[in-house]
Homo-oligomer: A and B are copies of this chain.
Amino acid sequence: MGVKMVGARIKRVEDPRLLRGEGAFVDDIDLPGVLHMAVLRSPHAHARVLSVDVGPARELRGVVDAFSAADLGPDPAAIPVLFPVETSRDTPQYALARDAVRYVGEGVAVVVAESRHVAEDALELIEVEYEVLDAVVDSAAAIEPGAPVLHAAAPDNVGARLVYSVGDVDSAFEKADRVVKDRLDMQRYTGIPLETRGVAATRDAVTGELTIWASNQWPHILRGIVAGILGMPERSVRVITPDVGGGFGTKAEVYPEDVLVPLAASRLDRPVKWIEDRNEHFLTLVHSREQTHDLEFAFDADRRITGLRATLITDIGAYQRTLAVINSSLAGTSIAGVYDIPNVHVEVICAATNKSPASPYRGAGAPESAFARERLMDIAARELDIDRAELRRRNLIKPEQMPYDTGMASVEAAVVLDSGDFPAALDEALKMVDYDGFAEKQRTARADGRLIGLGICVYHQLAGTGPFEGASVRVDPSGQVTVNSGAAPQGQGTATMLAQIVADELQVDHESIKVVFGDTGRIGFGVGTFASRNAVMSGTSVLMAATKVREKAMELAAHLLEANVNDLELEEGHAQVKGSPQSRLSLTEIAAAAAPGGSRPPGMEPDLESVQYFENHAAPYSFGVHIAEVEVDRNTGLVEISRYVVVNDAGVIINPMVAEGQIAGGVAQGLGGALMEELVYDAQGQPQSASFMDYILPGSLDVPEIEVGHLHSPSPLNPLGVKGMGEGGAIGGHSAVANAVADAIEHLGVRVTKTPLKPSVVWELIQSAGQQGP
């Protein structure tokens, strides 16, 4: 066997093309003659829609079509909920608002015109009569009696209610030596991809096939849902997700425009395109993270946590769409983290509010639950007067307890931690930052009037959900290797990773392998890219297919060389009799022989291709320890991150450079959430953060150098031993930074229980502490 590519720190094969500006995103799809769609959006957070008249808009020169919900038939299909639970209530969103609007930005009507600007102008001619209703904006208020009701089927504004329970938590609290509790709040924020959403659709005159290009993370799922809503057979719809400029979970959704653009293209039998502008993006993208946690720990005398009790309120916004309860379910089932807590009771209330619908964003529930848990862990350490690292170490699951079944299962997967040494990871991270030395450093700084702090976050993440992913690997008769995957990455370097796997299996140059994603026309079934699933699911399915191709190639080579297959080896793209390189065949020669009409042994079917589906019934869990050091400017409240250390364990790493890129990106988003990002609504439900003037993202100068240490606990759940890890940075980053800020100022006598810790917030905390004395 030649060089091993899996594990190699190599550059991404995707990048030269993207760096040369040759990427092709939805807006680059050239559909000459295309028409442009614009959406009339509700200016009200909550209103009855009494009438919509698109007639005047149709009169404008250049307008080709205009329609509202009334034109969609008497009984249109809503965007479906993929993971309904027993307590789920019907809160359906349609492609266009029917009787009522429930958030600012909700689509009410559509114009299709020769240009986008004509379409936008025509929107102003549409006459809509609204009866404005009271809006409810705060999730805790929404579930109070008497609050304005969004959906008749949920008169208490509870979209669903989830309960997870293990052991006897009441008894644990009764017997507790000490109880520590608090209410921890995470704000509404979300993934902000560089590329906004976009959809284009056209009907092929020859095949009758509707082709949809979408900036989206799950083409096969989008195909199924859109075909269903349009009443078309799946085989007549092809979804292509071309280059996608970031998604972070926000594009693993079916949005109204995903339906409206194909619908408009079908009505007109002409290509139609809609590219989201940044204002629409802030108004209508799935928001995330907004969750309130009433959390308490029961401690025994040894400071072991014997019980965890929590009530979470997830702000789900105005509608439950495809992923509905996922955030709530993952938050509820991950709240104990990697701690060995025998008694747990969590209730999660999904509260509807007049805001943009919420759905997963990188980490999907885990950043929220980790923030609550890790923040309360530090608060407890302070209250119980024990070192916070020591408190964590005492409660971590021990290596000998692995695999560790928490006894809980989210709607996606059982929470059974498959492998890992959590104490070792904590110790490694503490060593990397010289944790013991930091206490001295902090004392010195304080003596100098400086506020420095260190924050720890220990977390796990769901790392490769099923139910399956598919891949084909083909060596064509000219020897070229092509991979089709059901994945639809948005910048993760997945093509590089898959090429590395195939290169090892077929012993060909990884740069010669063409990897194709995001095209339902190229592989029968697929799931997509979200939940850190590419390495586990796409990687394993590609490995399976490449292995089948390799086995067939070797069997065919044995036939052609008149050798026993067991005597052959694959070396540098050639099958050869072991130790006899003079008797060998190139993969190209083998592939040519595999073509129909070639020379195969009896019973062997033609072609050197395999389509394989990896179906997993148990998901792996990766984990990490993040430690941030910060300095807080006493006069402005500004936080500067001075050091950032990550110890990451995601089993076998296919490409450390790609993995570290994922960690860095995640940490950037986590610290953005800890310090800056917030989607603010006023009391009437009017969005206050609808541009980059009001929604502050971390820039490159805000993100520190990130020191990464890898541990490798292979997953027993797949042949590669890999685990997903792309979301971990965002989970650890938010909490480590928040804890570090808290550590810098809580000795002043304040308590940090919410984010974002904007300068103004921190400054006010310091001021309030000042009033209580140093």
Are the CB atoms of A207 and B516 closer together than 8 Å?
A: yes
Which residues of chain B are near A28, meaning CB under 8 Å? Answer: 205-206
| Best-surrounded residue of A29, A207, A234 (most CB of chain B within 10 A) | A207
Say whether A596 faces chain B, with CB atoms less than 8 Å apart: yes
Bound form: Cα–Cα A606–B470 in Å: 10
Whether the pair B482, A596 counts as a contact (CB closer than 8 A) is no
- Out of B206, B271, B606, name the residue touching A24 (CB < 8 Å): B206
CA distance A213 to B482 in the complex (A): 23
Instruction: List the B side residues contacting A240 at CB < 8 Å.
Output: 206
Contacts of A524 in B (CB 8 A): 474, 476, 607, 609
In the complex, chain B residues whose CB is within 8 Å of the CB of A271 = 32
**Interchain nearest-CB distance for A591 vs B (Å):** 11
Chain A residues bordering chain B, tally (CB within 8 A): 44
How far does the alpha carbon of A163 sit from the alpha carbon of B524 in the complex, in Å?
51
Q: Tell me the complex Cα distance, A414–B425, Å.
A: 73
Pair A476/B235 contact, Cβ less than 8 Å = yes
- A205: B residues at CB distance < 8 A: 24, 28-30
Query: How many Å lie between the Cα of A476 and that of B596 in the bound state?
Result: 26
CA gap between A466 and B595 in the complex, in Å: 13
| Binary B-proximity of A587-624 (CB < 8 A = 1, otherwise 0) | 00000000111000000011101011101000000000
Instruction: Compute how far the CA of A318 lies from the CA of B607 in the bound complex, rounded to whole angstroms.
Output: 38
Q: Which residues of B contact A474 (CB under 8 A)?
A: 524
Interface pair A478/B233, CB less than 8 Å apart: yes
In the assembled complex, which residues on chain B have CB atoms less than 8 Å from the CB atom of A233?
478, 480
Q: How far is the CA of A295 from the CA of B30 in the complex (A)?
A: 61
Complex Cα spacing A213 to B204, Å: 12
Encode A3-38 as 1/0 by CB contact (under 8 A) with B. Answer: 000000000000000000000100011111110000
Name the B residues within 8 Å of A234 (CB-CB): 476, 478, 480
A242 in the interface, Cβ–Cβ < 8 Å? Answer: yes
- Asked if A467 and B206 sit within 8 Å, CB to CB, the answer is no
Q: A315 in the interface, Cβ–Cβ < 8 Å?
A: no
- Tell me, yes or no, whether A94 is within 8 Å of chain B by CB: no
Q: Is A281 an interface residue (CB 8 A)?
A: no
- A660 CB within 8 Å of chain B: no
Chain B residues with Cβ below 8 Å from A606 are 468, 470, 525, 613, 615
CB contact list, A186-236 vs B, under 8 A = 205-207, 213, 233-235
| Closest chain B residue, CB of each to CB of A468 | B596
In contact, B597 and A480 (Cβ under 8 angstroms): no
Contact A514 B235 (CB under 8 A): yes
Nearest Cβ distance between residue A276 and chain B, in whole angstroms?
19
A33-B33, A514-B235 given; A595·B206 CB < 8 A: no
Q: For the complex, is A677 an interface residue (Cβ under 8 Å from B)?
A: no
Q: Measured between alpha carbons, how far is A612 from B524 in the docked complex, in Å?
A: 17
With a cutoff of 8 Å between Cβ atoms, the chain B residues found around residue A242 in the complex are 206
Q: Say whether A235 contacts B480, CB under 8 Å.
A: yes
Q: Does A253 belong to the interface (CB within 8 Å)?
A: no
Determine how close the nearest CB of chain B comes to the CB of A562; give it in whole angstroms: 21
CB of A243 within 8 A of chain B?
yes
What residue in chain B is nearest A617 (Cβ atoms)? B597
A491 to chain B, nearest CB (A): 15
Q: Which of A15-73 contact B (CB under 8 A)?
A: 24, 28-34
Asked if A719 is at the interface of the complex by the 8 Å CB criterion, the answer is no
Give A contacts to B, CB under 8 Å: 24, 28-34, 205-207, 213, 233-235, 240, 242-243, 271, 466-468, 470, 474, 476, 478, 480, 482, 514, 516, 521, 524-525, 595-597, 605-607, 609, 611-613, 615
Known A28-B205, A233-B478; 4 more pairs at CB < 8 Å: A30-B205, A468-B606, A596-B613, A607-B613
